[in-house]
Structure 1
Amino acid sequence: MIADHALEWRPRHPTDLRQTLGSLRRGFGDPAFHLDRAGAVWRAVRTVDGDATIRVRQLPGGLLRCEGWGPGAGLAVEQAPELLGEHDDPSGFVPLLPVLDTAHRRNPGLRVPRTAQVFEALAASILEQKVITQQAHDSWRRLVVRFGAVAPGPTPRPMHVVPSPEQWRAIPSWEWHKAGVDPRRAATVQNAARHGRRLEEAAGMSQADATARLVLMPGVGPWTAAEVAQRALGDADAVSVGDYHLSNYIGHALAGRDMSDEEMLEALAPWAGHRYRVVRLLGAAGVRGRPRRGPRMPFVDHRAI
């Protein structure tokens, strides 16, 4: 099927499609994200002009091509360079350590994406609060498929657009329960959905002001705000303070020992402005963190409570 809109461009910096957009995928079953066999990334997106599906491909010579279908395709395709990290500037990043120098050289195309979809990132991040990742991804898949619209265009598999704030607000309590979401997280999403328009305005603010607006929401703290900033706002400096594993991962990757959040922030201080980039580079390079000796976060089936 011929796309409704298309755009080809040469990014300002080397850009690896899969590495850059991989952080937007909420598990392998994410209904709004698909990586096809040819290496193209498909995303179902909501825009102010309507729903859209985009396909982004890496072309020879460093070019990128985005094609879009649906009423919102024009705007979604226009915003594709921003999505692929067009405004992510790594020029001020200095590796300093051999492990980071190697990671940076081996992953020159890793950019920090910017979806500008604040509430989408917020809802997904709230679902990931204080539960194991697989559990959050299962909840995300069930709710998006159940309450999101079918994605337009020739999608390679059934895909769905993430529900609007109004649709999140309308989800009844039993559907949250069936999706394995406890009442606290459900209430946090639905309360934030009441302020959906105001939250989306954060995409046009400074990083500090956007974070300040996000944490005004009950149940949204520094960890959740950072997770949103990393994806929706393209913040290369946002650190997920309070993460169950991150401080010890960074501690062992950089210093060979456990660290508290405060020690992690101190260790990352030399890379101020690029601290999230450091985290992404270490992960992309396969740098190992803390050996898994202690207990993992337990799986809690809220459907049985």
Structure 2
Amino acid sequence: MWRTSRTPAGAGTLRVSARDGVVRGEAWGPGSEWLLEQLPEMLGAADDPDAFEPRHRLVAVTRHRRPGLRLTRTGLVLESLIPSVLEQKVTADEAYRAWRLLVRKFGEPAPGPAPERMAVMPAPRTWALIPSWEWHRAGVDNKRASTILRAVRVAGRLEEAVGMEPGAAQARLELVSGIGPWTSAETVQRSHGAADSVTVGDLHLPGIVGYALAGDRDADDSVMLALLEPYAGQRHRAARLILLSGRAPARRVPRMPRGDIGRL
């Protein structure tokens, strides 16, 4: 697996391989040392899956079928926050396309012998200087672009949130207009490996959890949170296992994630 990151030490490329139960990491660029130091947590070393106790048969069976599953911690906020903002109110394919176009055009080539066209995401100042027509060309509307621009102006303060507890980190992220509970949860799930930061405000997840645990395909956030209450402290892990179970209600009409309305 190849990965690029803009670390506190600069751009870096990471290559991770596994053979016979041994994981090997190699890294290049100014951020290489930081990436190798962070690698154990990226692979879930800071997670404690034994703290989780299944309360439903479906969850227990899925956990049994996925031995060794861990929540990972990247230790980086912006690289999860910006893609999460791009996912607000659009399909995943649209968000992935926007991220790919913007990173390839305004990022920098990945250090080391990385795969062709692999790039490191832009620095905060570069994000701030992207012209409005380039956002439009990437399919990013003004509300999402403006949220990203507000976030990168306080990038240092947002990156500090990685040293906070997940709840406090979410609160700091939500001080930026346009970032609400959906985006902040999606971010800290990755940056912090937050086991309890369940995503609310999503059009898919409540119905999936409701159907899996109670046969309620029309469940809303309040019903989902009530069903996940027995997993307090581990609600995100429970939701992940439910998603991995493949037990989702059939939809007659495709639905898109709502994302955050924020305070625009």
Name the TM-score class by shorter chain. Answer: over 0.9
Does 1:189 pair with 2:142?
no
State the alpha-carbon separation in 2 of the partners of residues 297 and 279 from structure 1: 18
TM-score (norm 2): 0.94
Moved over 6 A (4+): none
1:295 positional shift: 4.3
Is the CA contact 1:211–1:229 (under 8 Å) kept in the aligned structure 2? yes
222-231 or 163-172, which deviates more: 163-172
State the alpha-carbon separation in 1 of the partners of residues 52 and 206 from structure 2: 21
1:104 positional shift: 0.6
Aligned match of 1:283:
243
- Secondary structure of 2:51's aligned partner: coil
Is the CA contact 1:207–1:233 (under 8 Å) kept in the aligned structure 2? yes
Aligned match of 2:139:
180
State the alpha-carbon separation in 2 of the partners of residues 297 and 101 from structure 1: 29
Q: 2:12 aligns with which of 52, 75, 82?
A: 52
Aligned match of 1:266:
226
State the alpha-carbon separation in 2 of the partners of residues 275 and 114 from structure 1: 16
Does 1:239 pair with 2:195?
no
Q: 1:248 aligns with which of 199, 207, 213?
A: 207
Aligned match of 1:210:
169
Q: Deviations over 1:261-305 (max 9, x none)?
A: 0010000010111111112222223x221111134339xxxxxxx
Q: Deviations over 1:226-284 (max 9, x none)?
A: 00011111101111100121100111111111211001000001011111111222222
Q: Deviations over 1:25-53 (max 9, x none)?
A: xxxxxxxxxxxxxxxx1101111222111
> Tell me, which stretches of 5 or more residues in structure 2 are unaligned?
258-264
Alignment of 1:114-193 (within 5 A): 114-193=73-152
Aligned match of 2:158:
199
The number of residues matched between the two structures is 256
State the alpha-carbon separation in 2 of the partners of residues 279 and 245 from structure 1: 12
**Counterpart code for 2:120:** V
Alignment of 1:287-302 (within 5 A): 287-297=246-256
- Secondary structure of 1:234's aligned partner: coil
Q: Alignment RMSD, CA only?
A: 1.3
TM-score (norm 1): 0.81
**Counterpart code for 1:181:** V
* Distance change (3 Å), C-alpha of 1:196 and 1:103: same
State the alpha-carbon separation in 1 of the partners of residues 203 and 172 from structure 2: 24
Does 1:95 pair with 2:54?
yes
1:222 positional shift: 0.4
Aligned match of 1:3:
none
State the alpha-carbon separation in 1 of the partners of residues 244 and 250 from structure 2: 18
Is the CA contact 1:139–1:180 (under 8 Å) kept in the aligned structure 2? yes
1:146 positional shift: 0.7
- Percent identity reads 50
State the alpha-carbon separation in 2 of the partners of residues 152 and 255 from structure 1: 49
